[in-house]
Structure 1
Amino acid sequence: MYFPVGAYLILPLFGVNIAPFSKLVTFVYAAYPAVDPLPLMFIIDNYRYAMA
């Protein structure tokens, strides 16, 4: 998760247009807390049975 923010801060210094990229970074950081636990819930059996 460090690369998108690093690129978001560094690329404008080199004159790179990041307007479309900035919208993607905002979406990824907003969706990350909701998406992060999904592999844990669906892959690890003990957690899946504890949720049911």
Structure 2
Amino acid sequence: MMPVILETSVATNAEVIVTGYLYLLVLREFNAIPILRPQEFLNNLFVNIHNFVSAL
């Protein structure tokens, strides 16, 4: 399953892989695609939204 997730991420030009699978999380990134836990992704998303709104 792991190779399919990684290959699909590269083939679709994914910006991030969000997962709870430890065997993927230990890689931290694959082909310059960050691998994040769901909470890390949401934290980053919130910061980006906050920065965007603050700049308006």
Normalising by the residue count of structure 1, what TM-score does the alignment of the two structures yield? 0.34
Higher relative contact order (CA 8 A, sep 6+): 2
Bigger helix fraction: 1
Max Rg structure: 1
Normalising by the residue count of structure 2, what TM-score does the alignment of the two structures yield? 0.32
